[in-house]
Structure 1
Amino acid sequence: MQKNNIIIVLIFLALLIFALLLYKSQDLKKAYKSKVEEDLSHGIEFETTLVSENDVNHLPLPVQRYLNYVGVIGKEKVYNFRITFTGQMKIDPKKDWLKINTEQYNFMDNLTRMFYIQAKMYRIPILGLDSYKQSKGNMLIKLGGVFTVADASGPEMDIGEQVTLLNDMCLWVPATLIDPRIQWESIDSLTAKAIFNDKGRKVSAILFFNPDGALTNFVTEDRYMTIVKTYQKAQWSTPIKDYKEVNGSKLPTYGEGIWHLPEGDYCYAKFNLEKIDYNIKAIKP
């Protein structure tokens, strides 16, 4: 009889621990949604101002062709946006690919980026929140949504996340390239340099275009690859392709993230664009 009581108590404790872990596993997603809702609640009132030829005629010619190619002229200016991706990621060059689902919200007025990622390793959920807010970057990854396996911050992350925000703008929301915080330099008929200024801190990238006007690659020297608790500065590129009509614009629907290391290229991410929404006033379910 006493043995049965002990078994019942152990089962009860196991169920209680499981319930607590399940509850705690939602903390990261709740934090993500809370931060997005905060930015939405403090957002600016959207003006129905359209992107005009006058907005783009100061840009280098390949950038002007790009904006015409994707069809942003005559469309609304973008103040915030939401993107969802499916794809694959590698946490190490020697590891297998993990299937991922991501959602992100970006806000242009205060330069905020909230990127929420879900994956599984050996059936265990891996949740991550990649963020850039108030000029500070952070990468938080939790196993099962409970146990922290990475919490990267500091000057290297600040710079890297600023570059990633610029990357979002160039690849997925080209209407934002008229932002005055981007300084442009002409290189040649198919290449231009973007210098992105956030409160005096500048990052840059080289944009490569094809003769039709499509952006094909974004290359920067300003990102740091995270290795355990250290950082390694390396060239980073995001080649893109498969342009299709998405929410009124012609956008690339496939892209990769590649580190160019001394020992060889390391493709760590493959993204498929699923959906994009502009000028959102309430968080999507």
Structure 2
Amino acid sequence: MTAVRWIVVGLLAMLLLLVAAHGFASRGPSSFEAQFRTQSADALAVASAPSGVISDAEVDALPAPVAEYVRRSGAVGQPHLRSFYAEIHGRIRSGPGDTWMPYTVRQLNTYGPHPHRFFLMNATRFGLPVRVFHAYDEHATMRGRLLDVVPVVQAAGDEMDRSETVTLLNDLVLFAPGALVDAPIRWTNVTGTTVDATYTRGDQTITARLVFSNGDLVDFVSDDRMRASGDGSTFTPQRWSTPVSGYAVFGDRRIAAQGLGRWSAPAPEGQFTYIELTVDDIAYNVNPDRVRPRAAQAEK
């Protein structure tokens, strides 16, 4: 066998080993997939069961534009929200000059005295799989792996906790409006269509401005969410906003189903969109089996 053929055989063997390692890493007990399902099940196990339905009186206690928004979501008469599970797709990039990466997401949030957020993203960069797992239990972490093996992002600490608390409120407002009647939020009216929400989770208290038009939320703006560096090692304070571009009905709920995420960075970047998303499916007050991908549920 020639030297060239030996090299080719060696490369093929390495490729097969890499494929096998990736397959195990993506589904094995230490995989983000396994952690997402285990932690989601644990959070659902301690989330209190829905008690009663959302009443007109509860919604009337909210500021007028928030109350109208909650009513338009179809929440009145539905059970109080204790969880939601969503499947999302879109594209994401780090900066205005970077290449967009397509992604899919599976996400579980729970509410009550100890809310949780678990967000599992599968993205592709230069044809290679990148998986990112956000977990917010007592504290928040963000971890990313290339090929499910090579660490590329690792973020934790007080700045991460604060940033994810903003995201937790954002999810609540966009995807679970009915849960606003139970949330630990202090409201401040700014104008007839603008309200400030001050939200507390554990030792973190953050504020966001909610902007409404014709009864719908059209933007969410906060200065309390910080932009992480590419590897998650540092955070930079920047204004964060999530303008809504479309609504959709899922069962008996109407929610914001299309939107953007924007950073307002100093020059030369300026304000730019770093993420675009579309909600493909969402369900409320779910059980642990619901956090399986829809394809896996169909095979069961």
- Please say if residues 118 and 133 of structure 2, whose CA atoms lie closer than 8 Å, have aligned partners that are also in contact: yes
Aligned to 1:217: 219
Match 1:59 to one of 37, 57, 62: 62
CA apart distance, 1:57: 1.9
- Please say if residues 240 and 261 of structure 2, whose CA atoms lie closer than 8 Å, have aligned partners that are also in contact: yes
Match 2:239 to one of 235, 238, 245: 235
2-structure distance, mates of 1:129, 1:56: 34
- Please say if residues 40 and 288 of structure 2, whose CA atoms lie closer than 8 Å, have aligned partners that are also in contact: no
2-structure distance, mates of 1:12, 1:208: 57
Amino acid at match of 1:277: A
Aligned to 1:24: 25
Aligned to 1:87: 90
Aligned to 2:257: 253
2-structure distance, mates of 1:204, 1:8: 58
Match 1:282 to one of 275, 282, 288: 288
Aligned to 1:157: 160
1-structure distance, mates of 2:50, 2:193: 33
5+ residue gaps, structure 2, are: 293-300
CA apart distance, 1:283: 2.6
CA apart distance, 1:9: 9.4
Aligned to 1:182: 185
Amino acid at match of 1:33: R
- Please say if residues 163 and 222 of structure 1, whose CA atoms lie closer than 8 Å, have aligned partners that are also in contact: yes
2-structure distance, mates of 1:256, 1:239: 6
| 1:89-108 correspondence to structure 2 within 5 Å | 89-108=92-111
Structure 1 pair 99–16 and aligned structure 2 pair: CA distance change class (3 A): closer
- Please say if residues 126 and 144 of structure 1, whose CA atoms lie closer than 8 Å, have aligned partners that are also in contact: yes
- Please say if residues 131 and 148 of structure 2, whose CA atoms lie closer than 8 Å, have aligned partners that are also in contact: yes
Match 1:199 to one of 199, 202, 222: 202
**When the two structures are aligned, how many residues end up with a matched partner?**
281
CA apart distance, 1:31: 1.3
Aligned to 1:69: 72
SS at match of 1:68: helix
- Please say if residues 220 and 237 of structure 1, whose CA atoms lie closer than 8 Å, have aligned partners that are also in contact: yes
- Please say if residues 207 and 219 of structure 1, whose CA atoms lie closer than 8 Å, have aligned partners that are also in contact: yes
Aligned to 2:296: none
2-structure distance, mates of 1:240, 1:118: 23
5+ residue gaps, structure 1, are: none
SS at match of 1:59: coil
2-structure distance, mates of 1:174, 1:278: 12
- Please say if residues 70 and 214 of structure 1, whose CA atoms lie closer than 8 Å, have aligned partners that are also in contact: no
2-structure distance, mates of 1:52, 1:249: 15
SS at match of 1:283: helix
- Please say if residues 88 and 269 of structure 1, whose CA atoms lie closer than 8 Å, have aligned partners that are also in contact: yes
CA apart distance, 1:56: 1.8
RMSD: 2.2
Aligned to 1:46: 50
1-structure distance, mates of 2:258, 2:157: 30
- Please say if residues 131 and 161 of structure 1, whose CA atoms lie closer than 8 Å, have aligned partners that are also in contact: no
Amino acid at match of 1:213: G
1-structure distance, mates of 2:9, 2:92: 42
Amino acid at match of 1:219: V
2-structure distance, mates of 1:180, 1:31: 27
More strand by share: 1
Identity %: 27
1-structure distance, mates of 2:197, 2:140: 20
SS at match of 1:102: strand
TM-score w.r.t. the length of structure 2 is: 0.87
- Please say if residues 80 and 107 of structure 1, whose CA atoms lie closer than 8 Å, have aligned partners that are also in contact: yes
Amino acid at match of 1:268: Y
Structure 1 pair 260–240 and aligned structure 2 pair: CA distance change class (3 A): same
2-structure distance, mates of 1:91, 1:8: 36
2-structure distance, mates of 1:83, 1:46: 18
SS at match of 2:225: strand
Deviations 1:79-110 (A, max 9, x none): 01101111110123211111110010001122
